[in-house]
Structure 1
């Protein structure tokens, strides 16, 4: 479903030149959930932005559902792939109702039966028709992210690009959104690329993952290796240890 070949993304020139993504390649099968992990600044979100046209592709190829993407992206591309952003507070227009947010992509793509599609989209993300004419400030963080997911799904794409979709939410709400995404993938046959710095989130949702560092691919591994701690690369091992967080033993050792 996705084939990323030798992707390079460069910002700026001269002394301001930054190589954000360096020669990254991976493939994602249809119906698979694939993770991109790494510390802040590793280039993982830039990969997603390059796929959907929000970051320039300096060189390399991005093939989605058998078609190489073009610049600018076509309407067909956006009917195939959609993105869910990290911050639901920023990704929804504050003066647009839920109804307008969901109807806009339908209008752009000339999709009919908008009424039925909007109600169906709300139902799929666990929200009733009573949410249809609310504004973002009348919704909780989890409800806003559900609307963002509904907006991404309303065109019936095959691929969802998920850029840290739960990191701005409370821990209890994170679990609800992750379970929702997992259910939707199975029900609708979706393919996911999930970007996260949280290894537990990736291990929960994804079958395989790519570890990135300083814009480069470090190691591709099954998510089972994260759960068991059997990743072979030293940097991946350090990420696993860091993700285990604060313990009393580490505190007393530091003291």
Structure 2
């Protein structure tokens, strides 16, 4: 199976601090790949470096075979790769209606079938056209995250970068959003790269995961092997013991 996203020896430094130290990951097309680690481990920085939100000083990045190591992200990149952020409150403009929020990426990329795409995107995230002319402050946290997902899906990307997409939500809403994302992945044959501190979420959503610590990948392990306690790093064991969420999925 061909690689959707590949990083080779990716290094990100902020002044003297190395947020990523020679990180290499390979994510296959159609795979759901998790990245776990404590706060400050570099997992969100890796996602942002792939998305082009953080520059990397060394290493290589390829997306669907195209090298983005020294290339600015272009429209083709953003039609292929979209990101859903942790905070649905911060990622949506408070003075724009849902309609305007969904229209903006379509206008940037020159799509003309806007009515069809907006209605389809809202239906896909379980909201419907009745939400089109509401403002984000009129929505619950779960509804806002559904709009953020609709905004990411509306360009029909192939790869979704998910940065703790449910950690700001109540537990009951978390499950709904995770099920929605999983359904979208199956329907569209999407590739997921999902960051979470919760091994329970990752083990539910992903087939393989990278364990990060202090800006480095400690090991990459299939989720099924993790469930059987088949891993090599002591740090992975500590994360497993510390993760209350992991016990939820057995």
| Interval containing the TM-score (normalised by the shorter chain) | over 0.9
What is the match of residue 130 of structure 2? 130
Distance 2:126 2:53 in 1: 29
- Structure 2 counterpart SS, 1:27: strand
Partners of 1:53 and 1:71 within 8 A in 2: no
What TM-score, normalized by structure 1, do the two folds share?
0.93
- Structure 1 counterpart SS, 2:60: strand
Distance 2:28 2:160 in 1: 13
Distance 1:146 1:118 in 2: 13
Alignment of 1:86-125 (within 5 A): 86-125=86-125
Alpha-carbon displacement from aligned partner over 1:61-96 (angstroms, at most 9, x marks no partner): 110011012442111100110000000000000001
What is the match of residue 57 of structure 2? 58
Alpha-carbon displacement from aligned partner over 1:168-217 (angstroms, at most 9, x marks no partner): 00000000001111111000010000000000000000000000000001
Distance 2:24 2:150 in 1: 30
What is the match of residue 7 of structure 1? 10
* TM-fit CA distance, 1:230: 2.9
Runs of 4+ that moved beyond 3 A? none
* TM-fit CA distance, 1:233: 1.1
Distance 2:231 2:172 in 1: 28
Partners of 1:199 and 1:226 within 8 A in 2: no
- Structure 2 counterpart SS, 1:83: strand
What is the match of residue 32 of structure 1? 31
- Structure 2 counterpart SS, 1:204: helix
- Structure 1 counterpart SS, 2:121: helix
What is the match of residue 190 of structure 1? 190
The unaligned stretches of length 5 or more in structure 2 are: 246-250
What is the match of residue 248 of structure 2? none
What TM-score, normalized by structure 2, do the two folds share?
0.94
Distance 1:34 1:175 in 2: 18
* TM-fit CA distance, 1:224: 1.5
* TM-fit CA distance, 1:23: 0.6
What is the alpha-carbon root mean square deviation over aligned residues?
Answer: 1.2
Structure exhibiting the larger radius of gyration computed from Cα positions: 1
Alpha-carbon displacement from aligned partner over 1:199-243 (angstroms, at most 9, x marks no partner): 000000000000000000101001113333332210000000001
Distance 1:228 1:180 in 2: 27
Distance 1:240 1:172 in 2: 23
Distance 1:44 1:58 in 2: 17
What is the match of residue 23 of structure 1? 22
Distance 2:53 2:71 in 1: 10
Distance 1:10 1:71 in 2: 18
Alignment of 1:1-255 (within 5 A): 1-12=4-15, 17-69=16-68, 70-244=70-244
Q: Between Structure 1 and Structure 2, how many residues are aligned?
A: 242
What is the match of residue 252 of structure 1? none
